[in-house]
Structure formats: C-alpha cells, structure tokens
C-alpha cells in the first residue's frame, strides 16, 4: 500500500512551478548551444528540432496536467504520478532512472556555469595580469570552477534547503529574462529576405546528434513537477505552471533562432558558443544570464532530485529496509531530504569529474525522454482502459498522449541507439530486481488490467457481430463443463484445458447444490480460489467459475445460456461419470433433450482408474450407426494433439463396416485425412468387418485395452431407448470419451 509522502506543511503556489520550469527551459542550452544548432542544421533544422522536442513535451505537459488533476499529488513529482498510475514496481524503475537523470543534470548545469565564467576570467587576465599569471592556471580551468561552484551549491542546499533555493531562483530568473531582452535588442545585420532557411556550415553534424545536444532544453517541464510535495494545491499549480512554462518556452525558442540568423553568419553561429554576447546591446549580460540560467537550473535539479529519492524511500522500493529509512528521512523541522541531497551532490561531483557537457547532455536526454514517454503512455493507457475512477478535471486526448509516447521511443533510437538500449535495459533490470524483492507491490499486471479488459470487451463484441454477419464457419470448440467432482478428480478439468489450449475456449463450472445465500456464496468463492490455484499450477487457459443451484437441471439450464468468454456462445458440453458410479449418467440422460434443443454437441467422459495413462495413444472408433459423429471425433483427437502433453501421441482410427464395402470405406477415410491435412498415418487406419453375431463394443474392448483415450460415438435415438445401458460394457478400457455431434462437422479445408 503506497504511503503518504508529505509530512510537512506545503506552502508553494503556481509561480514556483512556473519559475522552476522556465528557468530550465530557457537555460544553459539556449545560451550555449542554440547558435551551434542553427549553424549545423540551418534555421529550418532548428525549427524542426523545436517542433520535434515539443511534440514530446507538449503531450507530456498535457498528460501531467491530466493525471495530476485525477488524484491527490504528493511529494516525488513525476515519480509519484507514474507510480500511482503504473504501480509501484514500474514507478520505482522509472523513478530511479529519473532521479539519476535529475542528479546528473546538476553536474550538467554546473559545467555550463563554468563555461559562463570563462569570459570574466579572461577579462581578469587583462585587468590584473600579474595576479592571473600567478593564479590563472587554477582560475582559468573549467573543472576547477565547476568543482568550486558545486561545493558552494552543496553547502547552500544542505544548510538551507528548498526555501533558500526558491528565493535564489526568483532572482536569477529575473536576470535571465533581462539578459534575453538585451539580446533581442541587439544589432540586426540581415533582412529576412536575405536568409537561406536551410543554410549550414560545410560537413555539419548529424541532425539527430544535434537534437540530442539540444533536447535537455526541453526537460524543464519535469522540474516544476518535482515540487509537488511543497505545493499548497498541486492539482491546480502543476497544470498551470507547467503549461505556462511550456508555452512561453516555445515562443522564446523560435524568437531566439530567428534573431540569431538575422544577427550573425553561419560560421559564427557554429563556432562561437558565446555568439549571443556579440549580438546583445551589452555583451557581458549574456554570460551573466548564462550563469544565472545554469545556476537556476542546477538549483532546480538539486532541489527536485532529493525529493524523488525521498519518495522512493518512503514507498520502500529498495530491497534493504535500512536504505529506505535513510533515504526517506528528512530534517525534523521541515522534512527537508538532507540524505537525498547528499547522494545527489555525490553523483553530481562524479559527473563533473568525468564528463564534458555534450556527453552529459546525451545521458540526460535519454533518461528524460524515457520518463516523458512513460508519462504519455500512462495517460494513453488510462484513456484506453476507460477506468470509471479516472476522472481528471483537465482532459487531454488519447491520440496526443499516444503521439508523445511513440515519438519518445522513435527519437531515443534515432538520437543514440546504444544509449537508448542501455537506458531501457537499465530500467528493465531495475524493474525485474525490484519485482523479485517486492512481490506484494503492483506492477505490469496493474498497468494492463484495464487495457486488457477493454480490448477483450471490444473483441467479444466484434466476434459476435462477425459471427452473425458471416454465418457458418470452420468449427472450433467452445467447450463448457459442469462438474461437482472437481476437487476429487481432475480428468474432466484436464480434458477441458487440453481441448481449449490451442484451438478454442474452455469454461469449467463447479456445481454447488443449494440455494444462494451468504454461506453458499462464501463457499463458492473458496472453491473457486482452490480451482484457480490448481489451474495456475497447470498453466491452464480455462475460465473457471462456480454455480449455485438447487438442482443439477436448473444449474445446467443456466450454464447453457451463458454467452461464453469468447464473445460467442458455447457449442460443446462435457459431462463426466466414474465407471464405478454410473448413476451420474442419469444427469445426462434426463437432460439430454434440453441440450439437443439448444444445439449443443455432447461429450461424456467415462473415467476409470487408468485415467489418461501415458497420453501417447488415442483410439477413435467409427461405426455405421453413428457416422455423423465421426468428423467431430476425429477433430477432437487432432485438437488434443495441440497440447504439449499430447503432442507426441499417436491417433489410430478404427472403422467398423458391414458387408463388402471395405475398399470404399478405406478410400473415404484416406481422402478425409489427406485433404484435411490431419497428422494421421494411413497405416493407422484400420477397417474391421462386423460379423452379425459380434457386438462392436467387444471389438473395442479387445483392440483398445491399451489406449490412453478411446473416443466412441453415440446416437441420440439409441440413448433414448437404451439409456445408461448404452455406455456399459467397456470394462477393459481406460478413459472413454463418448461423442454426440448435433451436426456433421467440416474437416476438409475450404481452400482445397
């Protein structure tokens, strides 16, 4: 059961969501890499990158808004939303990778911050040459600047937490917007008519490689989401703040791209990462803006990542309980996730030491795009499952969410197939490991339960309509069995599961005699659960249920009117009786006309102590008296071979004839087997002449004593006359299946 994550007073409104998101959207990538993108892909290429990126982020933003307005949103941001929609196991797998991407993002933005400081260090060299000659080796070093900046950020976040971080965010966001205004008012050298929309430098980088470098600019929507545990009204603040930030971001992106091509040539854009400083009316404002963008994004990530980890620990997703307790522990006065902050800063330091900005950008892109695809998939599956409990006050469209999910997967593999496979495998391994250690937590079954229900419902309706429109088709078994002996003998249950395994559907009903009451209903549930355990052990594909009725006849009348789980009516009913207790045959005999009236084929399983033996030999007996049953008998034998337990079995057909018609009978059977492509060797077809003085069952007793299953036909007219005597006299045999077909079945393939 998911736990409540919030334990402190939430006091943030919509503006912190907007500021946190927009500070990342209009962040380091915009200042450092947009000129590079224009130079390598052209203006049209950058427009395509912006559009592609927002074809993922806009569906994600809409999905976030939708999911957030359907449920109570607590701390943990995207992880909380995914885990409460997908289930904790899937949510944990995505949440851990999301936390890693957020922690790595801190390193990315700190590296970008060190880039912004370099122009000031060069300026210091000019102003203080003696000082810089002595200390410049240490000061004009990006890694040293990044480490020093990360150290300062760590001290601030561990001492003050999110509140000081948010106050700083407001300041740097203001400077960020001022720097963009200075840029837009900078010099314009070209007219729009002079611009070649697809102009690039010679030998440009691949489009999708450039897209990978730029994509972290689009990850800001997840930043505001991470504040969910600190918001007064997350259902209101998350959708508004996220959608506002996304809308403002896309406008600024297009405007910056156009301004760049109007103010600098392609070579300058591709090779000068500080080209915006050359364009702005006051150049130093751009490094300042870049520094503010980088530090605000780093602050946003270092605030959010620990909260994701705290939420993971609160849900006890890790197999070691001490780790969960340590991760979820917060500072006493405000529940600030100090331990999560320590882990986050350690990861950030690691990537500052080993990675350059482009490498880190690719890693971040992969982890974030997986998360975005998952969020879109959540929304799509919620629409598809039509769960009545899913009632968001803000509604997106299923096709928008599906577009976001498909594009996320497609772009992952276009950007970097190796990283894409690695990120998916990472989540799969995490999910598998967590599922093993947390079996009680819901996973994929929760995700697909509603979807499968809806698909099943639609397929049933489709099959029913098509059945009505197309009329007669090739016969397949829709078998149902009503038994009161399920927990003593499993022969009838096994026969149903074998028949329904590959070619049809099976329903197994346990009959409980009595009137429906609280006690009998409770008993039926217990019996059903026991049968489901048996079925699970056999990997059964049979639908299992119980029926309570005062008499077998009334139970049968109800059962034969069931529509069946296939969306089509049942067409074959299976009865059973033990050779030592033939009195149960009366249930069949007394109700046979009821079955004939409803066009059911009837099978009666006579169980013996031999049961089904080794499941290696099936004997089928055809006689002149019940030749209309022969095709169904042969089909049932063939269907049994489709189950793994019978696939090595051998079918032998015995045809009893009178007079001198052996040649005609043999040719008829051979044609039936050959044209029906049945796996029965001609050598396994035997014709036996019936003498006037011998009974057929005597021949069967002699020939089929070693068979594991003997299939014999019977006629309705003879049942009416002979009753239970019709089934007597097979004492030497194992299990016998008596078959009565309501009509002759088609074996020969219609295409032949």
Per-residue pLDDT tens for 335-370?
778 888 889 999 999 888 876 777 787 788 887 888
Judgement on whether residues 287 and 305 belong to the same structural domain of the protein: yes
Tell me the Cα Rg of the chain: 37
Q: So what's the pLDDT on residue 6?
A: 46
- Compare 403 and 27 and report the one with higher pLDDT: 403
Judgement on whether residues 618 and 596 belong to the same structural domain of the protein: no
Structural domain including 571 reads: 476-600
Within-domain flag for 625: yes
Q: Copy the structure tokens of residue 47.
A: 């427009």
2 falls in which pLDDT band (50, 70, 90)?
Answer: very low
Q: Secondary structure of the chain: what % helix, strand, coil (to 5)?
A: 65, 10, 25
Q: Copy the structure tokens of residue 464.
A: 């029913």
Judgement on whether residues 515 and 641 belong to the same structural domain of the protein: no
- Compare 419 and 37 and report the one with higher pLDDT: 37
* Across 116-120, 272-276, 362-366, 543-547, least confident range: 116-120
**Cα–Cα distance between 337 and 312 in angstroms, integer?**
12
* Across 45-54, 350-359, 426-435, 445-454, least confident range: 445-454
Q: So what's the pLDDT on residue 66?
A: 78
Within-domain flag for 735: yes
Q: What percent of the chain has pLDDT over 70?
A: 79
pLDDT at 582 exceeding the cut of 50? yes
Within-domain flag for 342: yes
Residue 626 belongs to a domain with what CATH number? 3.40.50.620
User: What does the DSSP 8-state code read for residue 186?
Assistant: S
Judgement on whether residues 540 and 568 belong to the same structural domain of the protein: yes
Q: So what's the pLDDT on residue 262?
A: 93
Final residue of a structural domain among 326, 345, 365: 365
Q: Copy the structure tokens of residue 308.
A: 């994701």
Q: Copy the structure tokens of residue 566.
A: 């296939």
Please report, in angstroms and rounded to a whole number, the separation of the first and last CA atoms in the chain.
58
- Compare 358 and 135 and report the one with higher pLDDT: 358
Final residue of a structural domain among 574, 600, 626: 600
Final residue of a structural domain among 600, 616, 637: 600
Judgement on whether residues 593 and 613 belong to the same structural domain of the protein: no
Residue 237 belongs to a domain with what CATH number? 1.20.1740.10
Within-domain flag for 725: yes
Which residues are registered as beta bridge partners of 620?
653, 711
599 falls in which pLDDT band (50, 70, 90)?
Answer: confident
Within-domain flag for 312: yes
- Compare 699 and 695 and report the one with higher pLDDT: 699
Buried b (16+ CB within 10 A) or exposed e, 446-466: ebeebbeebeeeeebeeeeee
Within-domain flag for 451: no
pLDDT at 667 exceeding the cut of 70? yes
**pLDDT tens digits, residue range 72-92?**
666 566 677 777 766 777 778
**Cα–Cα distance between 278 and 263 in angstroms, integer?**
9
Judgement on whether residues 106 and 150 belong to the same structural domain of the protein: yes
From the number of C-beta atoms within 10 Å of its C-beta (0-12, 13-18, 19+), residue 63 rates as: buried
Contact 221, 54 (CB under 8 A): no
Judgement on whether residues 586 and 634 belong to the same structural domain of the protein: no
**pLDDT tens digits, residue range 240-298?**
887 888 888 899 999 999 999 999 999 999 888 889 989 999 988 888 888 887 877 78
594 falls in which pLDDT band (50, 70, 90)?
Answer: confident
Judgement on whether residues 636 and 551 belong to the same structural domain of the protein: no
Q: Which residues contact 571 (CB under 8 A, 6 or more apart)?
A: 475, 477, 478, 479, 599, 600, 601
SS (H, E, C) 111-170: HHHHHHHHHHHHHHHHHCHHHHHHHHHHHCCHHHHHHHHHHHHHHHHHHHCHHHHHHHHH
Q: So what's the pLDDT on residue 38?
A: 93
**Cα–Cα distance between 248 and 250 in angstroms, integer?**
6
Judgement on whether residues 575 and 707 belong to the same structural domain of the protein: no
What is the number of domains present in the chain? 3
Judgement on whether residues 172 and 216 belong to the same structural domain of the protein: yes
* Across 108-117, 543-552, 664-673, least confident range: 664-673
Return the SS3 of 335: coil
Q: So what's the pLDDT on residue 1?
A: 39
- Compare 708 and 105 and report the one with higher pLDDT: 708
Judgement on whether residues 104 and 36 belong to the same structural domain of the protein: yes
Judgement on whether residues 169 and 112 belong to the same structural domain of the protein: yes
**pLDDT tens digits, residue range 382-440?**
777 766 666 677 778 888 999 999 999 898 888 888 888 887 788 788 877 777 766 65
Query: How many helices (H) and strands (E) would you count in the chain?
Result: 27, 10
From the number of C-beta atoms within 10 Å of its C-beta (0-12, 13-18, 19+), residue 681 rates as: exposed
**Cα–Cα distance between 370 and 422 in angstroms, integer?**
11
Q: Which residues contact 186 (CB under 8 A, 6 or more apart)?
A: 259, 263, 279, 280, 281
* Across 330-334, 347-351, 512-516, 660-664, least confident range: 660-664
Within-domain flag for 555: yes
Within-domain flag for 700: yes
**Cα–Cα distance between 82 and 376 in angstroms, integer?**
10
Q: So what's the pLDDT on residue 207?
A: 92
């Amino acid at each position: 059961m998911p736990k409540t994550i919030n334990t402190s007073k939430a006091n943030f409104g919509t503006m912190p969501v907007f500021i946190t998101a927009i500070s990342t959207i209009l962040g380091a990538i915009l200042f450092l890499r947009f000129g590079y993108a224009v130079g390598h892909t052209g203006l049209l290429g950058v427009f395509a990158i912006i559009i592609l990126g927002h074809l993922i982020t806009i569906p994600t933003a809409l999905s976030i808004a939708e999911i957030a307005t359907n449920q109570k949103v607590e701390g943990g941001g995207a992880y909380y939303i995914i885990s409460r929609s997908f289930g904790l196991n899937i949510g944990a797998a995505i949440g851990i990778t999301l936390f890693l991407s957020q922690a790595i993002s801190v390193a990315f933005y700190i590296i970008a911050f060190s880039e912004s400081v370099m122009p000031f260090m060069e300026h210091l060299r000019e102003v203080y040459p003696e000082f810089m000659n002595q200390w410049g080796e240490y000061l004009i070093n990006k890694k040293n600047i990044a480490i020093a900046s990360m150290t300062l950020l760590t001290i601030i976040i561990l001492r003050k937490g999110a509140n000081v971080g948010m106050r700083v965010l407001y300041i740097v966001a203001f400077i960020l917007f001022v720097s963009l205004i200075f840029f837009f008012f900078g010099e314009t050298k070209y007219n729009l008519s002079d611009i070649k929309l697809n102009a690039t430098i010679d030998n440009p980088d691949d489009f999708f490689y450039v897209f990978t470098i730029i994509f972290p600019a689009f990850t800001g929507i997840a930043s505001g989401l991470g504040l969910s545990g600190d918001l007064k009204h997350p259902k209101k603040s998350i959708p508004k703040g996220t959608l506002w930030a996304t809308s403002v971001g896309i406008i600024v992106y297009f405007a910056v791209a156009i301004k760049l091509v109007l103010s600098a040539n392609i070579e300058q854009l591709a090779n000068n990462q500080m080209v915006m400083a050359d364009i702005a009316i006051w150049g130093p404002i751009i490094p300042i803006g870049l520094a503010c963008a980088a530090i605000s994004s780093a602050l946003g990530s270092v605030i959010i990542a620990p909260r994701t980890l705290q939420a993971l620990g609160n849900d006890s997703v890790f197999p070691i309980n001490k780790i969960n307790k340590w991760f979820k522990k917060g500072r006493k006065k405000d529940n600030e996730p100090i331990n999560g902050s320590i882990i986050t800063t350690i990861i950030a330091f690691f990537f500052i030491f080993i990675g350059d900005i482009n490498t880190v950008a690719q890693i971040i892109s992969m982890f974030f795009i997986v998360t975005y695809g998952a969020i879109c998939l959540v929304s799509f599956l919620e629409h598809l499952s039509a769960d009545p409990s899913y009632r968001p006050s803000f509604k997106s469209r299923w096709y928008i969410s599906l577009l976001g999910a498909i594009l996320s997967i497609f772009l992952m593999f276009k950007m970097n197939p190796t990283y894409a496979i690695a990120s998916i495998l990472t989540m799969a391994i995490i999910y598998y490991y967590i599922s093993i250690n947390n079996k009680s937590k819901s996973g994929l079954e929760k995700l697909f339960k509603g979807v499968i229900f809806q698909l099943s419902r639609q397929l049933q309706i489709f099959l029913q309509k098509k059945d009505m429109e197309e009329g007669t088709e090739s016969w397949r078994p829709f078998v149902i069995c009503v038994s009161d002996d399920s927990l003593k003998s499993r022969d009838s249950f096994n026969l149903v599961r074998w028949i329904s395994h590959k070619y049809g559907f099976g329903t197994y009903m346990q009959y409980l005699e009595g009137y429906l009451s609280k006690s009998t209903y409770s008993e039926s549930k217990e019996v059903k659960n026991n049968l489901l355990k048996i079925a699970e052990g056999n990997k059964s594909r049979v639908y299992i249920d119980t029926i309570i009725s005062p008499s077998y006849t009334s139970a049968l009348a109800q059962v034969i009117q069931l529509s069946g789980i296939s969306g089509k009516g049942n067409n074959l009913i299976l009865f059973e009786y033990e050779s030592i207790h033939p009195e149960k045959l009366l249930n069949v005999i007394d109700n046979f006309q009821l079955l004939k009236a409803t066009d059911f084929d009837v099978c009666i399983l006579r169980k013996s102590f031999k049961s089904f033996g080794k499941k290696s030999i099936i004997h089928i007996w055809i006689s002149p008296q019940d030749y209309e049953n022969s095709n169904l008998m042969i089909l049932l034998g063939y269907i049994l071979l489709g189950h793994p337990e019978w696939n090595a079995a051998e079918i032998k057909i015995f045809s009893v004839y009178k007079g001198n018609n052996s040649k005609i009978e043999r040719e008829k059977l051979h044609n039936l087997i050959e044209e029906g492509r049945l796996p029965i060797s001609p050598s396994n077809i035997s014709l036996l002449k019936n003498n006037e003085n011998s009974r057929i069952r005597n021949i069967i007793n002699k020939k089929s004593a070693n068979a594991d299953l003997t299939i014999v036909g019977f006629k309705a007219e003879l049942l009416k006359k002979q009753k239970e005597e019709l089934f007597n006299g097979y004492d030497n045999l194992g299990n016998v299946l008596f078959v009565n077909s309501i009509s002759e079945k088609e074996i020969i393939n219609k295409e032949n």
